[in-house]
Every structure is written in structure tokens, then in C-alpha cells.
Chain A
Amino acid sequence: MRKALDLIYLAAGAMSALCILTICGLVTMQVIFNLITKLLGTQFAYTIPSYADFAGFLLAAASFLALAYTLKHEGHIRVTLFRDFLKGTLGRVVEIITLALAAVAAVYMTYAMIGHLHESISYGDVSTGIIPVPLWLPQSTLVIGLALFTLALVDDLVCTILGVSKSGHLDEIEEEHHNV
């Protein structure tokens, strides 16, 4: 179970990393095209249509798909100054309340984003750029990301209540799957 969950977070994190690399590749291609035009003249002008739109959609996917992975790597910022004073049971209670509140918020965010996705599908919304992209495609990455974020928060909540380690094998698993 633990291992399966960690694998899911890792897979989403890897997808997110792939999105960032794709943005980089896409933009680099366009810069190379610009360079070719600059060197050889305007008869050699190529553009990747709507590349700014695609970069934006990939950025959204990268940002949301990595939410759970980032949480598990303690990458999300929180103020721990006052928490450090709360030792023992009180500290654990505050942590459980915080996690529960965050989990509830994440459930609501996921629910709201599903509503948005549903609306987008039912009206057939498309992007406004040169290439019309059906918006449900990039928007579903937000839903998936938020759903996984919810899962990870509930996972952390349960682990904290049970008093077991939150992310036992994350690094080991990453070593094993270092070819992702």
C-alpha cells in the first residue's frame, strides 16, 4: 500500500518534470527557428503555432501534477516557528487539525475544478489561439493533480493519526525507478 501510493506520487512528479522539459524543448525549438531566420533570411521563417499557449498549458500541468510529490518531499512552504514550541501530544493534535483542514480544502478544490472541467466539456470550450485546443485536455491535468494532492494529504493525515512514517520508501523507490 505504502509503496503503491509512493509510486503514484512519483509517477505524477515525473510527468510534471516531463512537462517542464517539454516547455524547454518547445521554446528552444522556436529560438532555433528564430536563429535560422536571422541567419538565412525571412524566406526561412518557421514558427511553432500557438507555442506560447502550449507552454502555458504545460506549465499548468507541471504545477498541479507535482502537488502531491512536492508535499511528500516537504517542498511546500509552511511556517514552523510556533509549531516547534509545541512538543508531544499538543504538537500532534495541531498537526492533525492542520492536515485535516488542508485535506478538506483540497477536497473542495478538486470538487470545484471538476465542476469547471464539466462546464468546459459540456460547452466544448476551446483555446483562443491559432490552434484551437479543447480546454478539457489541459484542465483535466489540474483535476488529476488536485485529486492526487487530496490523496496525499489524507495519506499524511492517516499516517499522523496512526503514528507511522509518512513516506517510508520514497527515496528507495526513486533509486529503484531511476530510469523514469
Chain B
Amino acid sequence: MSELMMIIVLVGALFGMLAMGMWVGFALTLTGALGMFMFTSAPLGPILATTFWGHSHSWALAALPLFILMGEILLRSRLSEDMFSGLTPWLGKVPGKLLHVNILGCAIFAAVSGSSAATAATIGKMSVPELQKRGYPDRLILGTLAGSATLGLLIPPSIILIVYGVATEQSIARLFIAGILPGAMLVAMFAAFIAITALLKPEIFPKEELNFSIREKLSASKRLLPVIALIAGVIGSIYAGIASPTDAAAVGVVLSLVLAWSSGSLTWKMFREAVMNATITSCMIAFILAGAAFLTVSMGFTGIPRNLASWIDTFNLGPWALLAALTVFFIVLGCFLDGISVVVLTTAIIMPMIESVGIDPLWFGIYLVIVVEMSQITPPVGFNLFVIQGLTGQNIFKIAMAALPFFMLLLLAVVLITLFPQIVTALPGLMRG
């Protein structure tokens, strides 16, 4: 059977199952099973079991439930309220007002978390109810959250940059540093988008009275101290050399418990709810990741992604055309596979192409992360969409529509780093050697 037929059958099966309301983890697993069954003779059961086991006990992933638990505790403490009250006087005059909290909150949280799903879950838990209560438009709340949470992948630490660094023998420290400026650029672009929307359509924003004296501003800012203490504690533990990025997640849980206790909001009931909700959310993500891992392995046995990439290779494109083609390729692939799978499956084939046309592999790592960020907010398989659906109960297509402007901004960022590669290479260039 031709490659194209294989792809049509599998994509059709995946779409069909998702449309009938099949749970995503099952839909991915069953599509993988169908692919193996139809197009290979490899033993299905042992591969399924080996993949589920092999991908479920990873140390790097252990940070995920902890960061989610941290978010659940913060949600139930007064901290989220304080963060809004503290930021409000400062953002009152900025067009777009408190929507910037979503963006800044995600950017700050991205500096302690390696994953965009954890970023979406934690910030979303805090910000969505507050913003809805204040009457901000749903579309913008969901869009800014889905879009900004992808920063978790780019602003270091980043699980996906670690995977790329290992697969392509690039220095992970350099990749991390290379992610900083593009991350800051995206924050600025997202904030500018919100500000411009607010200037063009002031009527969709709530008419909050937001005039504050300096004195009021300063006294309100005291309420930001716990948030700042939390961030300083988590990031500080990494930079003081007492915690790895995964360890820092546990520091975050402990510090948020301390904060909740000191503000008097820590009760047994609250703690139990927080833990059980974190259990549900991390189980949900783990099940989808297991399904995605199995689909990835199944695709590896069928050889489809490899052949697709080799097919692109046959066109002998120059660097610009190659990048354009790869961008389309990754966006399509990113609709159905999670980011880490995309990186793992394709670097083996694509890196030689990249190097043969003279593209810097360090730069390409950041490019890849931004493209993968886009895949987090494209349906039907987009992890930020799933997390936000879990938070709000909205269906993923509505969330994806809300996130569309941010998808376009990410695409613009890809164009910008292509035109001005210094955005990526300047900081790592300052390092020794």
C-alpha cells in the first residue's frame, strides 16, 4: 500500500474515533494499534506493554504532577487573588489590563517549569476564574492562556530542548540560553497583541475603575510579595545549586503549602481537594502521553514519518524553501503528534538536511521549539487545548479558535528569527568558546 493511503487510513481512523467522543488516550493507542496491525508484522502486545512501561517511569516527567499540585494549592490559597490585586494597580492603565497577567504569569512560570501543559494548568487554575469573575471576554482569556503557556517549552528549563540537545548532540546549556531572547520576544508580541486589541475594541473589556495613587500602588504591591517569594524560592533553589529543575517542582509544592498555611487558607479539606485534583489532571496527561508514545513507536515501525521526511529531502531545496517546507510539514505533523514525538521521530532524518544547507543546529533547535509550540494549540491533538478543556470544560475547537491569533504570532516569530537569527544566537555567542 502506498504511503499516502496509509496516512489517509490512519488519520481517518484517528479523526473518526475522536469525533465519536473516544477518549484521546484510547484514540491514539487504537490508531497506533491499527497502524501496526495493518502495515507491520511486529508483535502488538509486547510493544504496547514495553512502550507504556518505558515511557511511564521517567524522572524528567516526575516534575509534571508536582507542578500541577503546586497550581492546585495556589488556586485554593489566597495567593491567586493577591497576585491579581497586586498587579491590578500597575496594569490598570495598560490597554488590555489584567489579561497581561495571563501572559506574564505564564512567562514567569515557564522559568520554573519545563512543560507547556504544566504551565497552562497552573496559571490557568489561578487566572481563568479571576478573569471570568471580572468580566473579561472568554475568547481572549482562553486564547492568551493557550498561547502564552507554550512559553513553557521555550523559556528554560525546557523538557523539549533537553530532548533535542540529546538527540542532536547540542549543548543543552547553550540551547537553554538561546531560548531566553526569543521567549522574551514572544512575551512582548503577545502583550502587544492584547494592547492593540484593547485599543481597537475597548467595548469588549470590562469597565473596571482603575485609578490608583502611588501610595495605593505600593500598598497593593505588598500582596505580590508571596508570589515573588515563591518564584524566588523555586528559581533560587535551581541557581543556588541545591535543586535540579525537577527537584525545584517539589520545592514549589512545599513553598506553596507554606504560603497557604501562613495566609490561613490551608485546611485538611483544601489539601485533600488539591491533591485529588492534581492526581486526576496528571493521570489525564499521563494517559494521553502513553497513547502518544505508543502511536509514535507504531509510526516508527511503519516508517511513515521517516519516509515523509525523506520525500521532502528528494526536492533538494535551498535553506529558505527547505525551512518553509519543514514548517508546513511540522505544523501538519504537530496537529496529530505531541511535540517531543515530533522531535524524536524526525531529527534523525532532518538534521543532515539542515546541516547540508548550512543551517546552524543551535538555531534550528529554537526554531523547532517554536514550531512545536504551535502544535500545542492546534486541534485535534494539542496538549494545551486538552489541559484548558480540562480546566474550563470548553470544547477544544473553541479553545483552538481563541488561540488562533497566538498561532499566527508564533508563525510571525518563526519568520522573525529566520530574518534575524541573532535573536537566537546572540546570547549563546557570549558564552566562552
Contacts and interface: CB of A to CB of B under 8 A. Distances in A.
A contacts B: CB pair < 8 Å: yes
Interface of A: 13-14, 16-17, 20-21, 23-24, 27-28, 30-31, 34-35, 38, 52-53, 55-60, 62-64, 66-67, 69-71, 73, 75-83, 94-95, 97-98, 101-102, 105-106, 108-109, 111-113, 115-116, 138-139, 142, 178
Contacts of A53: 59
Contacts of A94: 20-21
A38 B272 contact: no
Nearest to A63: B286
A176 to B, nearest CB: 13
Contacts of B48: 108-109, 112
B22 interface: yes
A112 B29 CA distance: 13
B24 to A, nearest CB: 5
B82 to A, nearest CB: 24
B254 interface: yes
B211 to A, nearest CB: 43
Majority-rule SS of A interface residues: helix
A63 B287 contact: yes
Nearest to B58: A56
A89 to B, nearest CB: 15
B250 A34 contact: no
B181 interface: no
Interface string B367-387: 000000000000010000010
11 contacts: A13-B280, A27-B246, A27-B249, A34-B247, A52-B59, A59-B56, A59-B61, A66-B280, A112-B46, A142-B52, A178-B268
Q: Quick one: which of A28, A53, A97 has the most chain B CB within 10 A?
A: A28
Interface string B225-250: 00000000000010011110011011
B30 A70 contact: no
B413 interface: no
Given A34-B243, A60-B57, A23 B286 contact: no
Interface string B17-28: 111111111100
A77 B269 contact: no
B275 A67 contact: no
Given A62-B283, A75-B284, A83-B21, A142 B66 contact: no
Interface string B60-95: 011001100100000000000000000000000000
Contacts of A62: 65, 279, 282-283, 286
Contacts of A24: 66, 69, 250, 253-254
Nearest to B243: A31
B240 A13 contact: no
Given A31-B237, A77-B390, A105 B30 contact: yes
A75 B30 contact: no
Contacts of A102: 22-23, 26
Contact of B279 (A16, A30, A178): A16
A126 to B, nearest CB: 14
